[in-house]
Structure 1
Amino acid sequence: MISTGIVSLLLAAPSSATLLWATSYNDHTVTSLNLDKNSLTVLSKSLDCGSEPTWLTLDKPKSLLYCLNEGWGGAASITSYKTNNDGSLSALDVLPVLKSPVSSTLYGPNKGNLAVAHYDTSTFSSFTVRDPSDIALTGNVTYTLDKPGPDPNRQEVPHLHDAILDPTGRFIAVPDLGADLIRLFAIEGDAWKEIPPAQAVSGSGPRHGGFARLGGNTFFYTVNELSNTVTGYKVTYNADSTLSFKLLFDYSDHGEGGSVPAGTKAAELEISPDNRFVILSSRGENSLEIDNFDATNSTKIPSDPIISFRINPWNGALTLTQVAPAGGRNPRGFTLNKAGTLVASALQDDNRVVIYKRDVRSGKLGDLVAWATVGEGENNGPNYVIFNE
């Protein structure tokens, strides 16, 4: 039996509340949060995910949560949790893994497997989670480069940065920032096999991505960290169980003809639940101002943006809809609730999780709903947040 490290701050979440979980580097915790109307409060914190907890993958029907630990300050790992009704987490297993796991997705029959992208170790790996108290490695493949890419400081080796299940559940796409590729894997039951990758724009550094299915078409979009662009592809499902990606466009993540300040790094990409919008976050811009979260302080504070685009269902083109405040600096990760009516943003440089309203029809973010302090210390605060949905 695993020894858990949990700090409980409240006895129980109200039955009408919405639960969220956020990871933060600087206090090494997974924080349980309770959203009740316009109040976001901390319920408990778990220390079981290791030194640098990052990506969270939820299996809602089974009340399971998987947390990746990048392992900068120790051994990298995957922790499986049982999610409790009061928002707290009970650790089931902790498995040491290769360094820097940064993203994961469930796949296969009954979602019994976890696919993981490793950034520093240039590896795609898979694990059986059929028994979440006994996670086990089932396969991996590690990549190399013959020579550095166009940005030799960031593209000296492959850097796998995301793992995305396609809408059919038959394929996994993995953007590789170092190799300018979308690596592709075909799922065969619990197993997978590598299939020919899609070529990304040279020097773009694809970071995160998402599939959208509209009007009988399937599109794939990436946000690219090195070029600060968004790229669109038309996806074709081939008879030989492979995928073809046709490049549609590549332009600024602020829209065609847009630009960003020096030092900007594109971050997260989400597809809205209705598949009608692509939503991005951008770090290091400090291009917007918002009201201070301290009601006694009238000084405005800087914010990076969350940027929304409407998808043309026939050709996959994007139309800029809105550039809205993310709620502070360095929105490394954000997610939408299942209805698409709320956006939760993790502000890594401000030790803050912020929730905004979102209009499903227009795709625009609206009023502030609630916020909470998450993380302790300078920088490297919350980096990812998800709803319990």
Structure 2
Amino acid sequence: MLHKRAIYAILTAALGSLAAAAVAGSKPESADDVSVSKLLIGGGPSGAILVADFDGSSFEIVANNTIAGTSTSWLLLKEPNFLYAVDENSDTTRLFNFDPDTNEIELVQNATGSSGVAFLEFNKDKTVMLGAAFAASAVDVWDIAADDGTLTLLKTISVGGTPGPVVGRQDSPHPHQALLDPSGRFFVVNDLGTDTILIIDSEADYNITNRISVEPSGNGPRHGAFYPPGADKATHYFLASEIASLVKAFELTYTDNDNGIELKEIQSLSTFGADFPPANSTSASAAELAISADGKHLYVSNRLTANETDSVSHFSIDIDKDEPLAFVDQISSGGLVPRMFSLAADESVLYLTNQNGENGLLAFTRDADTGSLVEKPVASVTRDVFGAPSFGPQYVKEIGV
């Protein structure tokens, strides 16, 4: 997580007539047979929640909901209409009513929880939602079972633990993600501040049942993904460690005791290939991680590299090998600070946001056979459309329509 979380709305300039503006993307590549997709975008200087249409070759911003003084760090849609948003600069979790037909976004509720929430996740039946509160060293547990989707805070879990050695980045626990495992019972919480992965059991009143140390000290666990994709239970877990810029593979075991899940590290390697080192390895920070639906490819974004642009690295996965990850290639992110990216539903495209640099929103074509990304984006929107330098978008996700 970037270290500007204490900044409260330095910039409150309006995004102008963005909601009605059509933003043409660069079109160096064709994107045949791609229907119009709808995207949710979060971030910018004024807490914007944007809706964009992507037709395979360009983006069009079709809606903009802005709340001055906020900074939208994560969004989560309970289809078809309930949109939850968190503001990393406050203790507010918000509920919006979202109409996918008209693209209207209407604020319904401001609920008070922990400060600095960076990630939201539903339980299996979407009656409960967890929020990983980076700033507050806590995980919020919300009841969202009401017919109108409103939020009721059930409990706040203080994660505890001993902070890591990196001054300024590990001065306290910093849970960055609470990820539901494929069984639908456990949440895995990556704690950047304590170099641990926590296990929360939904069948044990959402209490922490296990704490797993991640080496080396000072690596900073951030985001992860379970393997195999789409399975009823996981056999492996992959992790991006932010501070040390590492990608790690773990064997995952469901236990018969109260721990619930155990993890055994089997591989750790740099998020940079040998030919693509960061200009500044001290500041370089891994961010997002995602695995393709076929389980053969892993992607991770690299920020604050001090290179001309930051990057996205691509690894192959061969789960039958003792060390399943192998670096394949790397592309420019088209800007700086690619905090978050996501794959399209059909995985033909990778959507990416940059908080700084030239481009704020991009779409990269993905080869279905090799998993490689085409470096020249099929569409892009410049960062200045979203806001001032360092305040570009933080979140992008395709949604069903």
Same-fold call, TM cutoff 0.5: yes
**Shift of the alpha carbon at 1:274?**
2.4
Partner of 1:232: 249
**Are 1:127 and 2:142 an aligned pair?**
yes
- CA spacing shift, 1:129–1:49, aligned 2, 3 Å: farther
Partner residue of 1:368 out of 358, 363, 377 = 377
**Shift of the alpha carbon at 1:193?**
2.7
**Are 1:285 and 2:305 an aligned pair?**
yes
Partner of 1:196: 210
CA distance in 1, matches of 2:128, 2:18: 30
Partner of 2:399: 388
CA distance in 1, matches of 2:355, 2:275: 28
**TM-score (norm: length of structure 2):** 0.83
Partner residue of 1:38 out of 57, 60, 85 = 57
Partner of 1:118: 133
- CA spacing shift, 1:309–1:152, aligned 2, 3 Å: same
Structure 2 residues not aligned, in runs of 5+: 1-14, 23-33
Partner of 1:180: 195
- Conserved? CA contact 1:49–1:68, under 8 Å: no
Partner residue of 1:169 out of 174, 178, 184 = 184
CA distance in 2, matches of 1:385, 1:38: 17
CA distance in 1, matches of 2:111, 2:252: 35
Which segment drifts farther, 330-339 or 22-31?
22-31
**Shift of the alpha carbon at 1:245?**
0.2
- Conserved? CA contact 2:129–2:144, under 8 Å: yes
Aligned runs of 1:221-370 on 2, under 5 Å?
221-240=238-257, 242-255=260-273, 259-262=277-280, 263-285=283-305, 287=307, 302-315=308-321, 317-350=324-357, 352-366=360-374, 367-370=376-379
- Conserved? CA contact 2:180–2:188, under 8 Å: yes
- Conserved? CA contact 1:49–1:69, under 8 Å: no
- Conserved? CA contact 1:101–1:119, under 8 Å: yes
Question: Which amino acid is the alignment partner of residue 360 of structure 1?
Answer: A
Identity %: 24
Aligned runs of 1:99-110 on 2, under 5 Å?
99-108=115-124, 110=125
**TM-score (norm: length of structure 1):** 0.86
User: Cα deviations across residues 270-309 of structure 1 (Å, max 9, x unaligned)?
Assistant: 122222222100012254xxxxxxxxxxxxxx42111111
- Conserved? CA contact 2:127–2:143, under 8 Å: yes
Partner of 1:70: 88
User: Cα deviations across residues 10-43 of structure 1 (Å, max 9, x unaligned)?
Assistant: 79xxx95211011123132011111123120111
- CA spacing shift, 1:283–1:167, aligned 2, 3 Å: same
**Shift of the alpha carbon at 1:246?**
0.5
SS of 2:202's partner is strand
SS of 1:82's partner is strand
Runs of 4+ in 1 over 4 A off after TM superposition: 5-8, 214-217, 255-259
Structure 1 residues not aligned, in runs of 5+: 288-301
- Conserved? CA contact 2:284–2:306, under 8 Å: no
Partner residue of 2:171 out of 149, 156, 160 = 156
Question: Which amino acid is the alignment partner of residue 193 of structure 1?
Answer: N
Instruction: Give the root-mean-square deviation of aligned CA atoms.
Output: 2.6
**Shift of the alpha carbon at 1:217?**
6.3
Aligned length: 362
SS of 1:163's partner is strand
**Structure showing the higher strand proportion among its residues:** 1
User: Cα deviations across residues 295-347 of structure 1 (Å, max 9, x unaligned)?
Assistant: xxxxxxx4211111111122462011220122211111111112211111001
CA distance in 2, matches of 1:206, 1:223: 6
SS of 2:120's partner is strand
**Shift of the alpha carbon at 1:79?**
3.0
Partner of 1:90: 106
CA distance in 2, matches of 1:270, 1:344: 12
Partner residue of 1:57 out of 62, 76, 99 = 76
Partner residue of 2:155 out of 139, 142, 149 = 139
